[in-house]
Amino acid sequence: DAGITQSPRYKITETGRQVTLMCHQTWSHSYMFWYRQDLGHGLRLIYYSAAADITDKGEVSDGYVVSRSKTENFPLTLESATRSQTSVYFCASSERELTGESKSPLHFGNGTRLTVT
């Protein structure tokens, strides 16, 4: 089925380990995003990408790395996980820029719940 899928759904890792969260979309959307969601902070943007090989930092990018070698994939890597990175991570995509005329808002994956012990 078309859509946006994240894997794994749940992950437990230890402090200092590298972990990669996967995101795959089948719509060929140009724009992809990574958000983290924490109580009291809502959704905060980590990184986004306007197209393959084009990425840019969001509000909370420290400690994270992304790549976009193919349009459909946008993996997020925590280089050395810390407890403060325990969170729910959402990947999202959009077909075009989020203009006022756009009828295609962000489409979210179901999230990855990451726990760093």
In angstroms, the CA 32 to CA 71 distance is 9
| 46 binds another protein, rule: CB under 8 A | no
CA nearest to 41, candidates 65, 55, 60: 60
109 lines the binding site for another protein (CB under 8 A): yes
> Per rule CB under 8 A, is residue 102 in the interface with another protein?
yes
Determine contact, residues 90/43, Cβ cutoff 8 Å.
yes
Judged by beta carbon, residue 81 or residue 94, the one nearer another protein is 94
The single residue among 15, 26, 41, 115 that binds another protein, judged by CB under 8 A, is: 41
* Among positions 8, 15, 54, 56, the unique one binding another protein when judged by CB under 8 A: 56
Q: Rounded to the nearest 10 degrees, how much is the dihedral formed by the CA atoms of 114, 64, 55, 2?
A: -10
Residue 110, interface with another protein (CB under 8 A)? yes
Considering only 19, 48, 76, 81, the residue that binds another protein (CB under 8 A) is 48
> Which listed residue (22, 43, 52, 65) binds another protein by CB under 8 A?
43
With H, G, I as helix, E, B as strand and everything else as coil, classify residue 11.
Answer: strand
**Does 113 participate in binding another protein (rule CB under 8 A)?**
no
Rounded Cα distance, 111 and 92, in Å: 9
